[in-house]
Structure 1
Amino acid sequence: MNQLLFYLRKLHKTEGRRLYWNLISMIFISLMDSVSLYLLVPVMGIIGVVNMASSNIPFMAEVSKGLHFFPQQMLLPIVLCAYFIIVTGQSFIKRQQTILNSVIQQRFIKQLRIETYRTIMESDWLFFVHRRKADFSSVLTTELARVSQGTIQTLNLVTSVAFTLIQIAFAMVLSWQLTLIVIFCGLAFAYFSRHFVRKAKTLGNSTTELSMDYLAGVNEHFNGIKDIKSNGLESSHLSWFQIICRQMERNVVKFATLQATSQIRYSLVSSFLIVTFVYLSIDIFNVTAGQMMLILLIFGRLWPRFSGLQGTIEQIAMSIPAFSKLLDIRTACEQAKEPWNNMDAELPMPMPIRESITCKHISFRYDNEQSSYALRDVSLTIPVNSMVAIVGKSGAGKSTLIDLIIGLLTPNQGEVLIDGKPLEDQNIPSYRQTISYVSQEPFLFNTSLRENMKLVKPHVSDTEIWHALHFAASAEFVKNLPSGLDTVIGDRGVRLSGGERQRIVLARAILRKPTVLILDEATSSLDNENEAIIQTALERLKGNMTIIVIAHRLSTIRNADQVLVLDKGEVIQQGAYAQLASETKGVFGKLLSFQEPRDLSV
């Protein structure tokens, strides 16, 4: 319940005034509903069902005297017109209240989406390393919608309680004995129906887990759709999809069954109580026919309220796990928040790098509870406008070193220096503005090539785009595309070849005019021709910016000013390409010997 209260307070903070108006509207609608019901008594008196003058119904004698001022033939039209006006006014107010309710709900869910997305984006890189990406998608879609719905259901519960209290007060005026019996029966039934709420919460937990697994699986399948199609694995993935869909179906049906069972119990008890009330009213309490009819009408409205409250509580209980999941993500994000990150602030000016980037005895491990280090006592100096290559076997710590240089990770020991000064939290935003990073997997959207280029520089001109494309050896093939820069390149750039995608991403990195360009195995999946094209592009850039390259294919780093060889998180060789190649017994020499025969045979 703490999670629910947290979001209710947030809703109050966001929509305070509207919430009060919404509650006042609901109370007013309830009052008008009671008045319209009360007006049925004069109608029954006029048509002869009730003797209003001798009726024990409160205020009816006064109403009867007031109606004597009107001609007899006008009484029924007057009362019916009053009833029509009240019901019509109630309908218009209810319409406005429904619209206001929708506005409150949509503004609240919008605020939740933005806040949740912001807290996720402000988290540090290590937070993302330890979590599934699909979990964030699930939280921002399914779970967030359930939280919003649960919050609105709670508001509906509050207004329903207010409405019920008004109806109870009205019923007490008519017959307090029978009303107390209804209240006692309703509360007793609610007490014995607690297990429905517990079951609803259990089903809510299952719904949360299933929705997250569903979204994670679907994302993974479509990310690997080429492998699935190529290896004929469609049937096995369809089998998984059918299983989880059946589980989700069973979960929804179980909840529907739970609610249906709860409601049918209320219906059966309702029938029993009506029979009992009629008997008690006539034989024991000596209730008049008019009172009896009103009591039955009130009971017909009041008892479904108890039933509705039970259903609403079950809905809220099922959404509680979504509240917990969303709050857990928010708490984890806030704990992992980058202290310098302020997404509302303007982008800082790029930090000038005049001398070097230095790693001084840095060590890092991803889990502080483990003794093994991903990097241990690494020292490296990268002079400005030089080209440095980092090589080593898979798992040697190359990407971890890059993450430390970028400032995505903070060393457990040692420090990163920029021009001899430690890279501190307050400097990271301006430092990141100097860096362009190109990963092994090109990051492209399913939109036009121009929009993909504008991702890093929204107000860039076409001239600047073509200049960057030329530097990345991409201008020629872009000109030959059906619509040039306006060509839509498909999801993740699927309509382009692997080499074309990498060159576009390289051009986008250049468009930013970085001081430091980092290529994280950006040519590992390319053929020799595209590798040579990108190599030529890098030669154009060499001397104009600092280039850091992680490479498995050593032929791409022949012109590097410095090569760093990592093994098991430690620097085991460091020097110029030719120097390390001559050391045939070293790791670099062995790596080179494995690749040379393949390169010479091509």
Structure 2
Amino acid sequence: MARQRLNSGNAAEKELPKAKINRQSINNISRLIAYIKPYRGKFIAALVFLFLSSLVGLAFPSFLGALIDTALGKHNNGFLPTTIQGILLLAFIVLFSQAFVSFFRILWFVQVAERSLADIRRDTYFKLITLPMNFFSNRRVGELNSRISADLSQVQDTLTTTIAEMIRQLVLLVGGIIFMAVISKKLAIALLIILPVLVVVAIFFGRFIRKISRQAQDKLAESNTIVEETLQGIANVKAFVNESFEASRYQKNIQEVAGIAISGAKYRGMFVSFIVFCMFGAIVAVVGYGCLLVSQHELTVGELFKFALYAVFVGSAMGSFPDLYANVQKAVGASERVLEILAEQGEEISIDEIDNTIKQKITGNLSFNNVIFAYPSRPEITVLKDISFDAAAGQKVAIVGPSGSGKSTMAALILQFYHPQSGNLSFDGKPASEYSLTDIRNQVAIVPQDVMLFGGSILENIAYGKLSATKDEIIKAAQRANADQFIMSFPEGYDTIVGERGVKLSGGQRQRIAIARALLKNPSILILDEATSSLDSESERLVQEALEELMKNRTSIIIAHRLSTIREADKIIVLEKGNIIESGSHQELVANEQGLYRYLSRLQFDVSS
């Protein structure tokens, strides 16, 4: 049922939340608008052209009114020509000028918006991928992806369309009111008394109807969830003979959907009736009053026509502002969520560090010095308790222990995904803090239990270990990893697409590609995190041979459940509940009759063998 409630909210979540517009929110969005600064020349020019095109748009009712008056023998045209031909010629000149200005206004607005948004996306994405691992442990991938997609798309729409449209509608609103007042103060006052009241009522009515529509969407999403869950678990439904229960549950839900929809239809009908009667009634009343003024020779027919067109401009501008303001609210809310990411403290990695040049070489000596660590998301649980050990360059050090003892946490600390609350790690006798993050990670490689491959080709996945590698280097690494033979068995060879997360390959094949990637990287320190635990016997043999090649002449930290794979390790560290309880070679540890290692060994193979 919890899942049902979660899914039922999906329809409501499709609308981005709106933020209140205040001084703080304006300050926030101004930080994103600062990205326009490199393109401010075009932006200012686009604003000027926007203002000009809006002003020119206000001239057309005057042209049409002048044409009507001239056709009727009136010549009260102000600055316009007194002939129909002259008015038409001037109108087409102005129309061409507006078309010219509008083209560059739209082009420049889009250029500025797209380029500034590309800069924001670049910085947001880079900030995301350089945030510490703890940030990702507290958030869902879908949520973070929406920051770059939906949130920034909302900001993009506001920059490209909403701001320009607000300025245009504001010019039309103010200009329309001024022109109406110039034509007839009496008509302008009459319209401005009626129109704002009708617009406000229509806005509130519209919001109420949208609320009912969202309720119907929520209920419909809930009914779709029932269908989805029932069909996914159809075997259970049939096994427990609950077809009637599911049918009645669905029927009850869709009846509620129908009830809400019918209720909404009543209000929509009332709304349409209100618009038809009040809005059009108001226009008819004002036009009727205008006709009275025409009959009293206070207005000409052309002036009444001009007034009607300006009234349409003013009315449409008033009606558009609520939606435009709502879009700005959404953009403010979206910008705040993007700024939350940009304000996070990221790892010290520069966006220009793409060549992975190593500045401080690590030979492979590794030490844990009184390390105490708890995950920031669970500070009350100490995962590692005063851990100290040394791994000399070229040594094979195995870490074993029950699940949850802290083995994988030690791997995360070596890679500097996290930092201990007390104590430190050192490489070649120097604290990790004296090395740059990129230097450490460039010289440490990990082969995990669950290998994640990218959706490209096998060649690209191996090359991820060294982006500058030649194809010959990649093939040589694959041969050393026992991967070349199965790769060449595919019709496309190294150009074979592995599918999302490598789903087209078996577990053993993915492991060997990961080993080839690590070989290509040629690290000083290697971490093997349960690298063979989920493989069948034949795959494990091939992978183990590849791992032996990978571990040659480099410090290797081997995290393993299968103790048979670590018998030849130079040192075995036994962890239990975050403490090192034993340390030594395989022979030394199995000789300890009370030791945990001997107990674990008995569970897996005969100690006497």
Aligned to 2:502: 493
What aligned pairs does 1:342-491 form with structure 2 within 5 A after superposition? 342-345=350-353, 347-349=356-358, 351-354=360-363, 356-367=365-376, 370-424=379-433, 426-491=435-500
Aligned-pair distance for 1:467? 1.8
Scaled by the length of structure 2, what TM-score is found? 0.80
Aligned-pair distance for 1:180? 4.2
Alpha carbons 1:200, 1:318 under 8 Å: kept: no
Aligned to 2:584: 575
Alpha carbons 1:197, 1:314 under 8 Å: kept: no
Alpha carbons 2:466, 2:521 under 8 Å: kept: yes
Q: How many residues align?
A: 550
CA distance in 1, matches of 2:211, 2:372: 45
CA distance in 1, matches of 2:74, 2:419: 86
Q: What is the percent sequence identity of the aligned residues?
A: 26
Cα distance change on mapping 1:507 and 1:97 into 2, 3 Å: same
Confirm whether residue 291 of structure 1 aligns to residue 303 of structure 2. yes
CA distance in 1, matches of 2:398, 2:196: 74
Aligned-pair distance for 1:107? 2.2
| Equivalent position SS for 1:459 | coil
Note the alpha carbon deviations across 1:53-82, whole angstroms, 9 max, x for none: 5xxxxxx2564xx53xxxxxxx33332232
- Counterpart amino acid of 1:297? L
Among 274, 281, 285, the residue aligned to 2:283: 274
CA distance in 2, matches of 1:440, 1:202: 49
Among 127, 140, 145, the residue aligned to 2:135: 127
CA distance in 2, matches of 1:299, 1:162: 14
- Counterpart amino acid of 1:409? Y
Aligned to 2:62: 38
- Counterpart amino acid of 1:32? V
Confirm whether residue 25 of structure 1 aligns to residue 33 of structure 2. no
- Counterpart amino acid of 1:169? I
Confirm whether residue 142 of structure 1 aligns to residue 150 of structure 2. yes
Cα distance change on mapping 1:132 and 1:29 into 2, 3 Å: same
CA distance in 2, matches of 1:469, 1:493: 16
Q: Which one is further off, 396-405 or 311-320?
A: 311-320
- Counterpart amino acid of 1:10? L
Q: Which one is further off, 138-147 or 183-192?
A: 183-192
- Counterpart amino acid of 2:91? Y
| Equivalent position SS for 2:490 | coil
Q: Which one is further off, 476-485 or 520-529?
A: 476-485
Note the alpha carbon deviations across 1:307-332, whole angstroms, 9 max, x for none: 1222222333455543343333333x
Alpha carbons 1:416, 1:422 under 8 Å: kept: yes
| Equivalent position SS for 1:444 | coil
Cα distance change on mapping 1:511 and 1:199 into 2, 3 Å: farther
Cα distance change on mapping 1:147 and 1:186 into 2, 3 Å: farther
Aligned-pair distance for 1:179? 2.9
Aligned-pair distance for 1:373? 0.4
Q: Which one is further off, 443-452 or 181-190?
A: 181-190
Cα distance change on mapping 1:20 and 1:476 into 2, 3 Å: same
Cα distance change on mapping 1:501 and 1:380 into 2, 3 Å: same
| Equivalent position SS for 1:458 | coil
Cα distance change on mapping 1:153 and 1:42 into 2, 3 Å: closer
| Equivalent position SS for 2:464 | coil
Aligned to 1:169: 178
CA distance in 2, matches of 1:28, 1:580: 86
CA distance in 1, matches of 2:573, 2:418: 20
Among 55, 68, 75, the residue aligned to 1:52: 75
- Counterpart amino acid of 1:528? S
Note the alpha carbon deviations across 1:75-132, whole angstroms, 9 max, x for none: 3333223222322332333233233333233223322221210111121111112221
Alpha carbons 1:171, 1:298 under 8 Å: kept: yes
Structure 1: gaps (5+ residues): 54-59, 68-74, 211-216, 222-227
Aligned to 1:81: 89
Aligned to 2:101: 93
| Equivalent position SS for 1:27 | helix
Cα distance change on mapping 1:29 and 1:269 into 2, 3 Å: farther
Cα distance change on mapping 1:173 and 1:402 into 2, 3 Å: same
Aligned to 2:33: 11
Cα distance change on mapping 1:564 and 1:464 into 2, 3 Å: same
Cα distance change on mapping 1:269 and 1:292 into 2, 3 Å: same
Note the alpha carbon deviations across 1:339-387, whole angstroms, 9 max, x for none: x222224534153234621111101111477432011111111111111
Note the alpha carbon deviations across 1:163-185, whole angstroms, 9 max, x for none: 32223232232223433444455
Aligned-pair distance for 1:573? 1.4
| Equivalent position SS for 1:39 | helix
Q: Which one is further off, 126-135 or 162-171?
A: 162-171
Cα distance change on mapping 1:259 and 1:401 into 2, 3 Å: farther
Cα distance change on mapping 1:205 and 1:327 into 2, 3 Å: farther
Confirm whether residue 311 of structure 1 aligns to residue 328 of structure 2. no
| Equivalent position SS for 1:376 | strand
Alpha carbons 2:364, 2:393 under 8 Å: kept: yes
What aligned pairs does 1:330-349 form with structure 2 within 5 A after superposition? 330-331=342-343, 334-335=344-345, 337-338=346-347, 340-345=348-353, 347-349=356-358
Cα distance change on mapping 1:394 and 1:171 into 2, 3 Å: same
Aligned to 2:534: 525
CA distance in 1, matches of 2:587, 2:299: 108
Cα distance change on mapping 1:62 and 1:325 into 2, 3 Å: closer
Q: Aligned-pair RMSD on alpha carbons?
A: 3.9
Aligned-pair distance for 1:138? 2.1
Alpha carbons 2:457, 2:497 under 8 Å: kept: yes
Aligned to 2:334: 322
Note the alpha carbon deviations across 1:495-544, whole angstroms, 9 max, x for none: 22210110011111110111111111121111122222222223234441
Structure 2: gaps (5+ residues): 1-20, 220-224, 239-245
What aligned pairs does 1:177-216 form with structure 2 within 5 A after superposition? 177-188=186-197
Aligned-pair distance for 1:557? 1.2
CA distance in 2, matches of 1:128, 1:92: 49
CA distance in 2, matches of 1:302, 1:593: 87
Cα distance change on mapping 1:309 and 1:498 into 2, 3 Å: same
Aligned to 1:552: 561
Aligned structure 1 segments of 4 or more residues deviating by more than 6 angstroms: 196-206, 228-235, 256-267
Alpha carbons 2:397, 2:569 under 8 Å: kept: yes
- Counterpart amino acid of 1:310? P
Q: Which one is further off, 130-139 or 188-197?
A: 188-197
Among 585, 589, 601, the residue aligned to 2:598: 589
